[in-house]
Every structure is written in C-alpha cells, then in structure tokens.
Chains A and B, each alone.
Chain A
C-alpha cells in the first residue's frame, strides 16, 4: 500500500477506524449469507450419512459416464473458443471496420439470452421439423437429442467468456516489442509465438478456465436440446437433475459438490496464474472488458 507513506494518512486511518470495521463486517456478513451459507448447507447435506456414500457416488459408473460426457463437450468447446475467442478479440481491438459496434454487442448476447431459448433455437434449426434437419439427415448427423446438439448449445452459451477476457489483455499488449521484432525481420509466426503469446498466455488460461467452468455447468440449453437420455445425452448437471427427481439426494448433492468444486478449483488456479502475471507486468484488468 504505497499511500501509507504519505503524511496524515495514519491519522485518517484511526479517525475512520470504526466505520471501516462496520463496512468490513457488512461485506463479510453479506458474502457469508449470500455465498457461503448455501454452500455450507449443500456440503452438510451431502455428508449427512458420512463419507462412504459420497465416495460410492463419485466412483459410480453412471456418474463417471456423465462426467466424461460433460468433460468431452467442455474440452472441445474450450479448444474452439481459444482459437476463435482470441482471434475475435484481436480483430475487435486491432482492426477498424464497419459494423464493429454491432459485432461487439452480438458477442454478449449468449451471456444474457436464456439457455432454454438457446436450446429452443437449436431445436427449431435441427429438430425433426427444423430448417436444417433434411441436410443433417442426408449427412447422417444427428444433432437434436444427441451430443452434437449439446455441443453446439454449450458453444453458444460459453462464447463471450474467452473474448471478453482477451480484449483487455490484447489492449494492454506492448506494441513496441512487436514492432521491434518485425523490424528485425522476424516472421509473423515467430512474432506471434515469441512476442505476443508469452504476454497473453495467462489471460488465455483465465479465459479458458472460465469457459470450461461455464461449459461444465450448462444446464438449461443441454436439457432442451439433449433431452437428458440416461447413458446417451446425460451430462453431470442433467445427472444431478435426474437424481433430484429420483429422490437420490445424497447422489445429487455429492455430484453438485464435485462439479462445483471442480469448476471452482480450475478458476482459482487460473486466478493464481493471472495474479502472478499481474505481479510480473503490473497490467491490470477486470473480468468483463
């Protein structure tokens, strides 16, 4: 805290001492009530009958199968979003063209559109009466009530995360290095890998983990387009939903905790990476650009 060196600050701190603690406790209380209390309730519910049932759930084939499907969809989505997210962010930061504000607005659409509607849109395109159904039928690809449809739905809902994370990162790039490298005759490929990539990789990791977390947690859209068929289109969120329906609460709570902590863990890891970069470069950015 650099301002501590400035004279008079200490006086100030003491004077507003109580107000400061009131604020801190208000925020602690709010976050405790809003975020921590529900999480505690969930954990308590899952471990109601001890550790064994929980272990049994996370090693059960049905749960693992759903997790495998969730991961499979999420990972392909993440890979695509890395390429497209980064390149779209690059285009938005570095290029000027007609319709850029519109493009900028479009990117956030998936963020606010209801997942149910996303599933519904896909159903209208790929369902039996959908516009694209005949083409897909000819190609022999099943989209609705199959994994490809769920993949498209997840791709849609997770679209903004990578782009929004990369925009400030690319904005903050040090362009002098790029020019220097180019002047020295480095190929574009080399400039990218040697100069640009090292600067954006932490932002990329953070963006991809947010995308991964969002993809793993998707529920409404994959429910509508996938139908939640056991053993075929059942992701972990749909498995949780089914367990709730079948009164298998321990399984539902355990799977919820597992999925939640998995996502939290990867986001925290990425946060840690990002912090390291901030410490290195001192260039700061928030989550939404």
Chain B
C-alpha cells in the first residue's frame, strides 16, 4: 500500500496552496492508517461491553493499583527529572569545564539505548547480588530492584534527554543583557536566576516534563525487567496489560490501554499547546 503513496510525495515542492493536498493527502492517509485505525480498533474493543464495563475493568483492584503505581512513579520521576534536567541544561549551556562536550553527548545516550538493555543494566547494578544493590538493601534498607525505586530510576534513565534537550536551545538564545543588568544592580546570582532566567524557561521546562511524563506511563522494556510484576505491589500498567493480553482478560487489556492512551494524548495536546503559545510569544516579542 505504501508504494502507491510514494509518488505524489515526491512532488513536495508545491507551494502549499492549490496543489497542497497532493502532499497533505498521502501524509494524512499514512497517519490514519498507521495511528487512527489501530486506535479506533482499541477504542471499539474497550467499549464493546459498554462504558460501565470499561470503568469496571479499570477499577478492579489489581488494574487500579497498576494504573496508580504507573501514575505516581511517573509523576515522581517527572519532578526529579525537571529539577535535574534544568540543572543539567544550565550547566551545559552556561559553564565551561573540561569534559563538557562528552557530557553533552552522554545526554542523548538514553535515546539510543534500547529500553530492554536499560533494564538489564539496572539489574546488574542494583540487583541484590551486586555490590551496590547488596549494600543499599542490607546496609541502608533501600531496595531498588523489584520495588518502586527501581521503576523510578529506570523511568529517569529513559526520559532524561527530554527536559535537557527542550531547555538547552531556549537557554542558549536567552538575551543576557537583563541578567547582566540585574547583577550589576546588585542582585545575587540566585535572585537573578529566579527572577530573570527561570521565567523564560518555565514553558520549555513544562513541555519537556510533560513529554517525559507521557513517555514514562507507557514504558515497558525497562520496567518489565526491573519491577517485580507482583499484582498490587510492583506491577505497572504496561506489564498488567501484557499479562491481560496473554491471559483471557482481553477486555481488561483494552480498557487499561485506552485509559493510559487517553491520559497520554491529553498531556501531549497540552504540551503542544504550550509549545504553540511559546512560539506565538516569541513571535510577538
């Protein structure tokens, strides 16, 4: 089916009026086939027994716990990621120090490393038989693997680039005269940061954080290895869905997927709106 669609795409140099549909149609068709149709299938499947049954499925104790666990670990991750991502971006843009280029490159690593590999690595580091994991569990009583901290750490790993890479360009282009004026007038560096720099970063920080949150609630590869998969304790929604798909409970799988997808969709639309607002504001400035 794709080969038929390719021909008109090559005529992309149309100016956007008159012939615009030549370019738009295949693109929209492609997105419809790839995204809308599967989504419709799952919506239809989730609702096949009616909305009441759908609600029933997601409020079953095991499903509800899995959803809540996913949401709170993702939220906690988002907060940590926002703070550390902001700090990382700031350090990478504003300071000069040896090894900065390497550090900047490392930020992208989580995008390239398969999430399954992430899970494997984390178990090798924090597993109860490993030196660090053993130390944390027995000396400090802090269990990472097969416990919520492991979930949060794996989510932090996979979503680390989102906040950093969203803030970096904005910070780079920030007009520094205001800052200099403020510090010349005697404002401390903290005050300068909070009053001048931070307000400009709120939008990219929010949209980056929202992106990482919505990325996190669907995460499977890393979490399936790191979390213990025990219902009502460490089973996340994605792992619950796998269990439901592999057992008779297909309605439950559709219902939970539908809920998570809707949350992610709403968040993404919000993130997009923020981006758009930012774009307009920039244009107005």
Given A23-B91, A30-B84, A35-B106, do A131 and B41 touch, yes or no (CB 8 Å)? yes
**Please, which residues of chain B bring their CB within 8 A of the CB of A12?**
183, 189
A180 at the interface (CB under 8 A from B): no
Nearest Cβ in chain B — how far from A187, in angstroms?
A: 8
Nearest Cβ in chain B — how far from A3, in angstroms?
A: 5
**Contact indicator A263/B183 (Cβ below 8 Å):** no
A47 at the interface (CB under 8 A from B): no
**Contact indicator A87/B108 (Cβ below 8 Å):** no
Secondary structure of the B contact surface, majority rule: helix
**Contact indicator A288/B116 (Cβ below 8 Å):** no
- Size class of the B contact interface (CB-based, 8 Å): 35 or more
Chain B 97-111 interface residues, beta-carbon cutoff 8 Å to A? 97, 103, 105-111
- Docked complex Cα distance between A131 and B121 (Å): 39
Nearest Cβ in chain B — how far from A7, in angstroms?
A: 9
The total of Cβ contacts below 8 Å across the A-B interface reads: 291
Q: Which of B5, B110, B121, B157 has the most CB of A within 10 A?
A: B121
Q: A125 is contacted by which of B14, B38, B111, B215 (Cβ under 8 Å)?
A: B38
A174 at the interface (CB under 8 A from B): no
**Contact indicator A240/B120 (Cβ below 8 Å):** yes
**Contact indicator B111/A213 (Cβ below 8 Å):** yes
Q: Mark B1-40, 1 if CB is under 8 A from A, else 0.
A: 0100110010111111000100110111011001111110
**Contact indicator A264/B113 (Cβ below 8 Å):** yes
Residue of B nearest to A110 (CB): B35
Given A120-B257, A121-B41, do A260 and B23 touch, yes or no (CB 8 Å)? no
A140 at the interface (CB under 8 A from B): no
Given A30-B84, A116-B241, A123-B245, do A23 and B35 touch, yes or no (CB 8 Å)? no
Q: B245 is contacted by which of A109, A116, A196 (Cβ under 8 Å)?
A: A116
Q: Mark A256-269, 1 if CB is under 8 A from B, else 0.
A: 10011001101110
Q: A217 is contacted by which of B35, B116, B176 (Cβ under 8 Å)?
A: B116
**Contact indicator B217/A117 (Cβ below 8 Å):** no
- Docked complex Cα distance between A197 and B45 (Å): 43
Q: Which of A45, A113, A189, A284 has the most CB of B within 10 A?
A: A113
Q: Mark B219-254, 1 if CB is under 8 A from A, else 0.
A: 111001000000000000111011001000000011
B124 at the interface (CB under 8 A from A): yes
**Contact indicator B110/A35 (Cβ below 8 Å):** yes
B206 at the interface (CB under 8 A from A): no
Q: Mark B160-179, 1 if CB is under 8 A from A, else 0.
A: 11100110110011001000
Chain A 168-191 interface residues, beta-carbon cutoff 8 Å to B? 182, 188-189, 191
**Please, which residues of chain B bring their CB within 8 A of the CB of A38?**
118, 121-122, 124-125, 157
- Docked complex Cα distance between A285 and B204 (Å): 13
- Docked complex Cα distance between A266 and B105 (Å): 12
**Contact indicator B215/A112 (Cβ below 8 Å):** yes
**Please, which residues of chain A bring their CB within 8 A of the CB of B242?**
116, 220, 224
Given A20-B95, A27-B91, A30-B88, do A240 and B116 touch, yes or no (CB 8 Å)? yes
**Contact indicator A8/B112 (Cβ below 8 Å):** no
Given A34-B157, A217-B116, A263-B112, do A19 and B87 touch, yes or no (CB 8 Å)? no
Q: Which 3 pairs of residues, A with B, have the shortest CB-CB distance? A: A217-B114, A188-B13, A112-B264
* Chain A residues close to B by CB (< 8 Å): 1, 3, 6, 8-9, 12, 15-16, 19-20, 23-24, 26-28, 30-31, 34-39, 41-42, 44-45, 80, 83-84, 86-88, 90-91, 94-95, 97, 101, 103-125, 131, 155-156, 159, 182, 188-189, 191-192, 196, 210, 213-214, 216-220, 224, 237, 240-241, 244, 252-253, 256, 259-260, 263-264, 266-268, 271, 284-289
Q: List 8 A-B contacts (CB under 8 A).
A: A1-B96, A3-B180, A8-B180, A30-B87, A42-B121, A44-B124, A101-B272, A114-B257
| Additional A-B contact list (18), CB under 8 Å, known A84-B27, A271-B105 | A35-B106, A41-B125, A95-B16, A95-B24, A105-B268, A108-B272, A109-B265, A112-B268, A114-B218, A114-B260, A120-B245, A125-B38, A182-B15, A217-B221, A237-B116, A259-B117, A260-B112, A286-B168
* Chain B residues close to A by CB (< 8 Å): 2, 5-6, 9, 11-16, 20, 23-24, 26-28, 30-31, 34-39, 41-42, 45, 84, 87-88, 90-92, 95-97, 103, 105-118, 120-122, 124-125, 130, 132, 153, 156-157, 160-162, 165-166, 168-169, 172-173, 176, 180, 183-184, 189, 207-208, 211, 214-215, 217-221, 224, 237-239, 241-242, 245, 253-254, 257, 260-261, 264-265, 267-269, 271-272, 275
